[in-house]
Amino acid sequence: MKIELADIGKKYRNEWIFRKTNLTFSAGESYTFVGPNGSGKSTLLQVIAGVLPQSEGKITYSSANKEISIDDIFKEITIAAPYLELVEEFTLLETVEFHQQFKPFKNQISPVQLLELIQLAQHKNKMVKNFSSGMKQRLKLGLAFYSDCPIIMLDEPTSNLDAQATAWYLSQVEQHTQDRLLIICSNQPHEYTFCKNIVDIRDFKLK
Ligand SMILES: Nc1ncnc2c1ncn2[C@@H]1O[C@H](COP(=O)(O)OP(=O)(O)OP(=O)(O)O)[C@@H](O)[C@H]1O
């Protein structure tokens, strides 16, 4: 799996958030977008995911040298982000069952097994609206790590996580991302210490 950005730019009204962005992302690697609040990390992530359209430039997705169309790329990507909401009226089990219809889990893991793996099994009949923010974040991360997708995108992965849950996140990264393409947006060095490829969004601000 490979994603190539050629002269990508994004603007909101008259404000360019980034321009002339040329980057290549490859399977088996992890990348972290860093930069101050409001610099454009989440925007770049969403442009790469095909959730937001770029204002200029071209993005090419490919697997085994075969191009993947933008219309099909959503099947290859799983995202956990603060702005992607869970359905509050579902129970935990319903949430996982619903998710699985669109994004099946690795190794044919069942929804009930997934809840054991993410250590939330005792809450399976609790409605998501009654989850704490940390429980919601663990659920979002669990859905991302266990979905059978080659690309994982995590925006602010440890937001609302306590020390024990942060340790769990780091163990999950190690376990689930070896052969996948991982992209993180972060302001917290402890959530990307393992990452070799740091992309500073300020490098793509035109002076
Ligand atoms: N829908 C929108 N319309 C107009 N401007 C927007 C919109 N979404 C984001 N922006 C602007 O784009 C810029 C980049 O925002 P973005 O959320 O990508 O930053 P970020 O680096 O992820 O920030 P943070 O670290 O606070 O999460 C900000 O100036 C923001 O106000």
Q: Does the structure show a pLDDT above 80 at 43?
A: yes
Distance in angstroms (rounded) separating the CA atoms of residues 47 and 55: 10
C-alpha of residue 44 to centroid of ligand 1, in Å: 10
Q: Which of 39, 51, 54, 187 to mutate to test the pocket of ligand 1 (most atoms within 8 A of CB)?
A: 39
**ipTM of the modeled complex:** 0.97
Is residue 34 pLDDT above 90, yes or no? Answer: yes
Nearest CA to ligand 1 atom 10: 12
Question: Tokens at residue 41, please?
Answer: 């990390």
Q: Which of ligand 1's atoms lies nearest the C-alpha of 39?
A: 21
Q: Is the CB of 46 under 6 A from ligand 1?
A: no
Please name the residue that has the structure tokens 């930069």.
Answer: 35
Ligand 1 centroid to residue 40 C-alpha, Å? 5
| Ordered DSSP codes for 134-162 | HHHHHHHHHHHHHBS-SEEEEESTTTT--
In order of start, what are the domains of the chain with their CATH numbers?
2-204 (3.40.50.300)
Q: Which atom of ligand 1 is nearest to the CA of 187?
A: 25
pLDDT by residue (tens digit) across 101-155?
999 999 999 999 999 999 999 999 999 999 999 999 999 999 999 999 999 999 9
What is the pTM assigned to this prediction? 0.95
**Length, in residues, of the chain:** 207
